[in-house]
Structure 1
Amino acid sequence: MILVFGGTTEGKKVAALLESLALPFVYSTKTKTSFQETKVARYSHGALDEAQLESFLTNNKVKIIVNAAHPFAEVLHNTIAKVATRLQMPVIRFGRKLLAKTIHPLVFYVNTYEEALALLKENQRLLALTGVQSIEKLKSWWQNNTTHFRILDRPASLAIAVKNNFPKKQLILGLPSANLQTEIDLIKTHEIDVILTKETGNSGFLSTKIEAALKTNTQIIIINQPKVPAYFEVVDSVDALELAISKTIVI
Structure 2
Amino acid sequence: MTRTILILGGTTEGRLLAERLAGDSRYRAILSLAGRTAHPAPQALPTRIGGFGGVEGLAYYIRSEAIDALVLATHPYAGAIAANVASAANQTRRLAILWQRAPWAVALGDCWTHWPSLDALADAVGPVPKRVFVTIGRQGAHAFERAPQHRYLFRSVDPIDPPLALPHADLILDRGPFDIAAEIALMQRHGIEVVVSKNSGGEATYAKIEAARHLGLPVMMLDRPPSPAIPTVSTLDEVQAWLDHGFAPKNRGE
Equivalent of 1:12 in 5, 15, 19: 15
The residue that corresponds to 1:187 in the other structure is 187
The residue that corresponds to 1:132 in the other structure is 138
The residue that corresponds to 2:235 in the other structure is 237
Deviation at 1:159, TM superposition (A): 5.4
Cα separation, partners in 2 of 1:168 and 1:217, compared to 1, 3 Å: closer
Equivalent of 2:149 in 144, 163, 177: 144
Unaligned runs of 5+ in 1: none
The CA distance in 2 between the partners of 1:217 and 1:126, in whole Å, is 14
The residue that corresponds to 1:79 in the other structure is 84
The residue that corresponds to 2:200 in the other structure is 200
Cα separation, partners in 2 of 1:240 and 1:147, compared to 1, 3 Å: same
Cα separation, partners in 2 of 1:36 and 1:95, compared to 1, 3 Å: closer
Deviation at 1:55, TM superposition (A): 1.3
Letter in 2 for 1:200: S
The answer to whether the Cα contact below 8 Å between 1:27 and 1:44 also exists between their aligned partners in 2 is: yes
The answer to whether the Cα contact below 8 Å between 2:152 and 2:169 also exists between their aligned partners in 1 is: no
User: Which runs of structure 2 are paired with 1:76-225 in the superposition (5 Å)?
Assistant: 76-102=81-107, 104=109, 106-121=111-126, 122-141=128-147, 143-152=148-157, 157-158=158-159, 160-162=161-163, 164-165=164-165, 170-206=170-206, 208-225=207-224
Give the SS at the match of 2:149. Answer: coil
Deviation at 1:112, TM superposition (A): 2.0
More helix by share: 1
More displaced stretch, 211-220 vs 8-17: 211-220
Letter in 2 for 1:11: G
The CA distance in 1 between the partners of 2:181 and 2:5, in whole Å, is 41
Deviation at 1:227, TM superposition (A): 2.4
Give the SS at the match of 2:113. Answer: strand
The CA distance in 2 between the partners of 1:125 and 1:81, in whole Å, is 40
Cα separation, partners in 2 of 1:166 and 1:58, compared to 1, 3 Å: farther
The answer to whether the Cα contact below 8 Å between 1:28 and 1:44 also exists between their aligned partners in 2 is: yes
Letter in 1 for 2:242: A
The CA distance in 2 between the partners of 1:161 and 1:96, in whole Å, is 31
Cα separation, partners in 2 of 1:11 and 1:211, compared to 1, 3 Å: same
The CA distance in 2 between the partners of 1:204 and 1:9, in whole Å, is 9
Letter in 2 for 1:88: R
- TM-score normalised by structure 2 residue count: 0.86
Cα separation, partners in 2 of 1:184 and 1:118, compared to 1, 3 Å: same
The answer to whether the Cα contact below 8 Å between 2:70 and 2:97 also exists between their aligned partners in 1 is: yes
Deviation at 1:125, TM superposition (A): 1.0
The residue that corresponds to 2:252 in the other structure is none
The CA distance in 2 between the partners of 1:68 and 1:105, in whole Å, is 28
The residue that corresponds to 1:69 in the other structure is 74
- TM-score normalised by structure 1 residue count: 0.87
Deviation at 1:204, TM superposition (A): 4.1
More displaced stretch, 96-105 vs 69-78: 96-105
The answer to whether the Cα contact below 8 Å between 1:132 and 1:161 also exists between their aligned partners in 2 is: no
The CA distance in 1 between the partners of 2:145 and 2:248, in whole Å, is 46
Deviation at 1:168, TM superposition (A): 9.6
Letter in 1 for 2:67: V
Letter in 2 for 1:196: V
The 4+ residue runs of structure 1 with deviation greater than 3 A are 34-37, 102-105, 164-169
More displaced stretch, 177-186 vs 63-72: 177-186
| 2:31 is equivalent to residue 27 of structure 1 | yes
